[in-house]
Amino acid sequence: MLRLIQKNSFTFFAYLTGYMFFIFPLMNFTRYTTDEPFDPTYIFYQTPFIFWIVLGAIWTQENLESKIKGYSFLRTLPITFGEIVVSKFIVAFLTIVVYEVFQTATLSLFSTPAEYMTMIRSYLVLYGGLCLIISGLFYLSIFKFGFLRMSKFVFILWILLFISPLPIREFLAPKFNFEIMDIIRPTASLNWVLVAVVSLTLYLGLMQATKKLNPSSVG
């Protein structure tokens, strides 16, 4: 199992480190180097990167597995189908946890006002839970129908979720006369524990459903 987790971690690690050490510093350079007032809407533009990291890593890795017939090779080894599934779900989960911890830790670098801290953390937990569930659905659909059938759907949804702030800011907000803070502010009343428990329960359910699939259908 540990070998499988290590094998599946490389793609996720590449996406995650690319964001943490290149994209995030580049996008937030002025926040580190100037004394401009804290803008809580920054989290609205940062959270979609969790989809870019996790769902992007899933698509990239499954595309590679499909091209090199990776699952066909794994079936020749003393590894069960359940172990393959569980290893992938574990890596996706750990990646989301690292992203959430990283985002929470960087809040202190911005000297985040106390009145915004709860709201932003709740928003992060909500997005983390959503990404967890979508990741589970991605794996379930890929293992059930095959990557070749699902690749376009997964790719399009990955891109749409990643760029979602742009149409909201440019088209929906002006048309329906609301501000970005109107989206973020209501999350302050969310119960973090409940969101986390529900998301994780659904994720584990999707993992169990994926484990019950016929391994011979996986390319």
Report pLDDT digits (tens) over 143-188. Answer: 999 888 888 999 999 899 988 888 888 888 888 888 888 888 888 8
Mean pLDDT of the chain: 87
**Is it the case that residue 12 has pLDDT exceeding 90?**
yes
Residues 131, 20: Cα–Cα separation, whole Å: 18
Cβ atoms 49, 100 nearer than 8 A: no
**Is it the case that residue 216 has pLDDT exceeding 70?**
no
Report pLDDT digits (tens) over 108-143. Answer: 776 667 778 888 888 999 999 999 999 999 999 999
The confidence score (pLDDT) of residue 95 equals: 97
Residues ≥6 apart with Cβ < 8 Å to 87: 1, 4, 5, 7, 8
Residues ≥6 apart with Cβ < 8 Å to 154: 55, 58, 59, 62, 138, 141, 142
Report pLDDT digits (tens) over 17-57. Answer: 999 999 988 887 776 666 666 777 888 888 999 999 999 99
